[in-house]
Structure 1
Amino acid sequence: MNWKKEFIDFSFKKKALKFGSFILKSGRTSPYFFNSGLLSSGKDIIKIGVLYAHSIIDSKIEFDILFGAAYKGIPIVVATSIALKNFYNLNIPYVFNRKEKKKYGEKGDLIGQKIQNKKIIILDDVVTSGTAIHYSINILEEKKAHISSIFVLLDRKEKGKRNLHTIHHLKNKNSYKINSIITIEDLISYLLEENKLKKHVPELIKYREKYGIY
């Protein structure tokens, strides 16, 4: 079992990945839904951190600090920092943001290392419209950080504004390197190998044909 299939199977069994009919924030009706928030045990977050760590190292991208956006990005960035230490002996600092700026004590909207002039990798769970990633980019650019790359668990490979693939739009606008661990194509391949789940394949293909970019 390859690591992509293993992660998809793991997410499905944990009910973080579901197939059916779901209304997304964008208003689209999707035949599948992924909620990383349901991967919430110690075992779950360790697995996610290891997955990100291996992907980051394999990419050979230079970076100084990991950034995770509140709230889902916080456990992801902590777990990845731990995995980088445990597997690669890299002591990589991390930072995350507050939803509201603190006006007393440790003031400001960021918690963790100073990021000015540092190379940052952004960690997120899913890319659909790209709104969350744009928000993270704005925070980091305001602090004069340099964004090395963006890593996501799932790229839905959907059209964003002006029918551009969300990730391609980010690349064109900002020239940031974006890496996805699994995509809708991986989900379709997984379903084709699972007899009890094959029935969902036509809906995913139909959705991809309507909203996807190849």
Structure 2
Amino acid sequence: MAVPPSTSTFSSSDFIQLALSNDVLKFGEYVLKSGRISPYFFNAGLLATGETLSLLANGYAQALAEQVKESQSDELVIFGAAYKGIPFVAATAQALWNNHGINARWGYNRKEAKDHGEGGNLVGADVSGKAVWVLDDVITAGTAMREVVEILSAAGATVAGIIVALDRKERGQNEQSAIQELAQSLQVPVQALVDIDDIIDYVAKHGEPSQLAKMRHYREQYGV
């Protein structure tokens, strides 16, 4: 049986390397919903091994532990949006406890409300009256995240902040990125574990010159 590598400490370089080896991150030509042709594509749905999910969860946990330390609060509630966010938030709760001794409460939503049993569209921790941290993979236009905010608001919760796996740092409707727009409109911190600049740095050290040129050109053309 193979001995699993240590994933308690998150590094953007390790995550990018692992994402590439599992086809979570790919280079090529990909047409985005915006119509832009991107030289790279990130698919968090392929974080489908224990190793990849553990590394991502430890990244979330590391960022959240820093927030807890700054706030000097013992209470932490984290939330994952269905469907991708459910394994993210569950694994992160474990990582917070195993690596940082933080006993976070966690929950998620259903796509459709349940009309029997406990009912409702929220599962897990009671978020009423709580300031909740939301975990997600990538924020493209911010629409899905605003829906999550509405769900939490209807349950009596507020959003303390948002942590995503990747920030593409692309301009949205104006000169700001979707993450910058969301942070401004919600008045909460929105941070990312990895961004396009980290990927460019990785390609500069380990990739092909042609790929590096494409990444830099895309960043100059659409980046904030």
TM-score, length-scaled by structure 2: 0.89
Separation of aligned partners in 2, 1:162 and 1:86? 42
In structure 2, what is the equivalent of residue 204 of structure 1? Answer: 215
Write the letter of the residue equivalent to 1:202: A
Write the letter of the residue equivalent to 1:184: I
In structure 1, what is the equivalent of residue 160 of structure 2? Answer: 148
Identity among equivalent pairs (%): 38
In structure 1, what is the equivalent of residue 94 of structure 2? Answer: 82
Separation of aligned partners in 2, 1:131 and 1:97? 16
Calculate the aligned-residue CA RMSD, in Å. 1.6
Report 1:44-193 matches (<5 A). Answer: 44-59=52-67, 60-61=70-71, 64-193=76-205
Q: Is the 8 A contact 1:128 1:157 kept in 2?
A: no
Structure 2 vs 1, CA of residues 138 and 161 (structure 1 numbering), >3 Å: closer, same or farther? farther
- Which stretches in structure 1 are left out of the alignment for 5+ residues? none
CA deviation vs aligned residue, 1:155-207 (integer Å, no higher than 9, x gap): 0011112342111111221111111111100110000001x433212222222
Separation of aligned partners in 2, 1:129 and 1:5? 26
Q: Is the 8 A contact 2:78 2:133 kept in 1?
A: yes
1:150 is paired with a residue whose SS is strand
In structure 2, what is the equivalent of residue 24 of structure 1? Answer: 32
Structure 1 segments of 4+ aligned residues over 4 angstroms from their partners = none
Separation of aligned partners in 2, 1:52 and 1:39? 14
- Which stretches in structure 2 are left out of the alignment for 5+ residues? 1-9
1:193 is paired with a residue whose SS is helix
Separation of aligned partners in 1, 2:111 and 2:197? 33
Compute the displacement of 1:23 (Å).
1.7
Q: Is the 8 A contact 1:151 1:178 kept in 2?
A: yes
| More divergent stretch after superposition (10-19 vs 164-173) | 164-173
Compute the displacement of 1:149 (Å).
0.9
Write the letter of the residue equivalent to 2:28: G
